[in-house]
Structure 1
Amino acid sequence: MGDAPFLLLAGVLAGGMNALAGGGSFVSLPALIGAGVPSVSANATSTVALFPGGLASTWVYRDGLTGVCGVPLAPVALVSLAGGLAGSLLLLWTPAALFDQVLPWLLLVATIMLAFGRRIGPALRARVRAGLPTILGLQFLLGIYGGYFGGAVGLMMMAVWSILDGAEVKALNAPRTLMVSAANGIAVLSFIVAGAVAWTACLLVGLGAVAGGWCGAHVGRTLPPAVVRAGTLLLAAGTTVAFFVRAYG
């Protein structure tokens, strides 16, 4: 309980980040590991803790919910659920030592996609037209990523969607919060059934995340997209470097 203020604050920051652009696990996961939770359990605990905050953000953004890359919400949500289930089971079967080695690379992929996705998007769209199978297939893979790792899955979704559709990051916030909640929702059930959640830490981070998610969604509706993008990218890059040092330093 000596870590309670630290975990509450981490939850507020993570919930706010998830509401603004995603990437809240860049805060909550290191905080949980720093509080002594083993890495696999910390990842599961982070997913469960941030889930209610994601729902709060989705409710705030409900008026902006539209399809993804021209595809209606329902099929995208269904494949997100299926991917989230597959990814969560994969995480539960992954040894902690292996996950510690993989984690920095997952963070790096998310950071690169956030940083350069908008640059490669126009060139890709000029050569390839993404149809329904491509969009749903990519979303299924994103669901697996979300269920397995959770960290920055919202950033990954927006990076991929912006490559395929060219939409501005801010306009993708509403469907992003819904799809992350779909993938995480089924993962939450898996982690609870498997007993992988550190509940005391989870409740502390979760309480903070609800407050942060609600406030962050309201701020995100008015904050300039460039500010949201720059702040998230800086934090993502810093966290990625820190985890590479932790794993290989």
Structure 2
Amino acid sequence: MMDYVIICLAGFLAGVLNTIAGGGTFLTFPALVYTGMPVVTANATSGVAVFPGYLGGAVGFRKEIAAFERRRLVRITFATVAGGLVGSSLLIVSSEKAFSFAVPFLLAGATLVFAFGDRLRDWAKARSDMDPNWSLGTFLVSVYGGYFNGGLGIVLLALFSLWGMRDLNQMNGLKNGLSFILSAISVGVFALAGMVAWTEAILMMAMATAGGYAGAPLARSLPPKVLRVAVIAIGSAMSVVFLVRLLHQA
């Protein structure tokens, strides 16, 4: 019973965080591992749990997505599907030991991306006059997202800035749309492979939806800097916890 309480609480708080600042994966994945779930299964289940939220975001920005150049949209959609298949397939063939080794570094990397996301986007904007390789960039980011979802949104926004995009609404719409497609691919692959703990995933989905609704008024009242610090602190703490866990297992 305590495990379900932890899972529900993590799902709710992840929904709140995702609505306000992002970073909900920093709670859902560690909570599942804490309850005793193997790390590969926990990562797959966490990916399924945050899946529905992307659809709502994509629908909300459907006009901005529709305004994107159709030919390029088709190209990057195919690249997203291909990258998602590769990334999720890599997770399937990863052993528990190999993924356990990668987890603290993936968490730390995602935390750094979140912490320095603004600088990353500024860096990308400064180089937006470069001729972007739309398909390759999308494919590489999608491989990462299919394997480990943490920090995906920030990486996608930086990629869009590198392409020269400036309309934040269109960027957010495209981010949610590609994230939904990527997550759909991952969910399908993980489900066929029997890697998803469905009871926990459905509980987290429901609680994350409720948390997302509750997070809206908080987003209007709390200072963004405080929220960013909270997410960075959570990500840093989880990175240390999993690193200590790795060293203990060694």
Q: Which moved more, 1:223-232 or 1:207-216?
A: 223-232
Please, what TM-score do these two structures have when normalized by structure 1? Answer: 0.82
Deviations 1:157-216 (Å, cap 9, x if unpaired)? 234444654859887443322221111110000000110111221121121122223454
Counterpart position of 2:245: 246
Counterpart position of 1:58: 58
Quick check: 1:119 aligned with 2:119?
A: yes
CA-atom RMSD, angstroms? Answer: 3.3
Q: CA deviation at 1:41?
A: 0.5
- Where do 1:82-121 residues align within 5 Å? 82-119=82-119, 121=121
Q: CA deviation at 1:18?
A: 2.9
Percent identical pairs in the alignment equals 37
- Corresponding residue SS for 2:100: helix
Quick check: 1:188 aligned with 2:187?
A: yes
- Corresponding residue SS for 1:3: helix
Letter in 1 for 2:245: R
User: Aligned partners of 2:198, 2:120: CA distance in 1, in Å?
Assistant: 41
Judging changes above 3 Å, is the alpha-carbon distance between structure 1 residues 156 and 91 closer, same or farther for their aligned structure 2 residues?
Answer: same
Please, what TM-score do these two structures have when normalized by structure 2? Answer: 0.82
Deviations 1:42-98 (Å, cap 9, x if unpaired)? 0111111221233234334546547789x9544333322221111111100000111
Counterpart position of 1:23: 23
Contact 1:19 1:216 in 2 (8 A): yes
Counterpart position of 1:80: 80
User: Aligned partners of 1:230, 1:98: CA distance in 2, in Å?
Assistant: 30
Q: CA deviation at 1:144?
A: 0.8
User: Aligned partners of 1:16, 1:200: CA distance in 2, in Å?
Assistant: 21
Counterpart position of 1:146: 145
Contact 2:17 2:215 in 1 (8 A): yes
Quick check: 1:11 aligned with 2:41?
A: no
User: Aligned partners of 2:126, 2:154: CA distance in 1, in Å?
Assistant: 23
Judging changes above 3 Å, is the alpha-carbon distance between structure 1 residues 218 and 66 closer, same or farther for their aligned structure 2 residues?
Answer: farther
User: Aligned partners of 1:219, 1:171: CA distance in 2, in Å?
Assistant: 24
User: Aligned partners of 2:164, 2:35: CA distance in 1, in Å?
Assistant: 40
Contact 2:85 2:146 in 1 (8 A): yes
User: Aligned partners of 1:166, 1:224: CA distance in 2, in Å?
Assistant: 27
Contact 2:121 2:157 in 1 (8 A): no
User: Aligned partners of 2:183, 2:77: CA distance in 1, in Å?
Assistant: 11
Structure 1: runs of 5 or more not aligned: none
Letter in 2 for 1:186: I
Judging changes above 3 Å, is the alpha-carbon distance between structure 1 residues 163 and 246 closer, same or farther for their aligned structure 2 residues?
Answer: farther
Letter in 2 for 1:5: V
Q: Which moved more, 1:234-243 or 1:163-172?
A: 163-172
Structure 2: runs of 5 or more not aligned: none
Contact 1:104 1:243 in 2 (8 A): yes
Letter in 1 for 2:3: D
Q: Which moved more, 1:225-234 or 1:33-42?
A: 225-234
Contact 2:65 2:170 in 1 (8 A): no
Contact 2:128 2:164 in 1 (8 A): no
User: Aligned partners of 1:104, 1:246: CA distance in 2, in Å?
Assistant: 9
When Rg is computed on C-alpha atoms for both structures, the one with the higher figure is 2
Deviations 1:204-241 (Å, cap 9, x if unpaired)? 11211222234546865897755554443333223222
Letter in 1 for 2:232: L
User: Aligned partners of 2:157, 2:22: CA distance in 1, in Å?
Assistant: 9
User: Aligned partners of 2:138, 2:229: CA distance in 1, in Å?
Assistant: 25
- Corresponding residue SS for 1:14: helix
Counterpart position of 2:202: 203
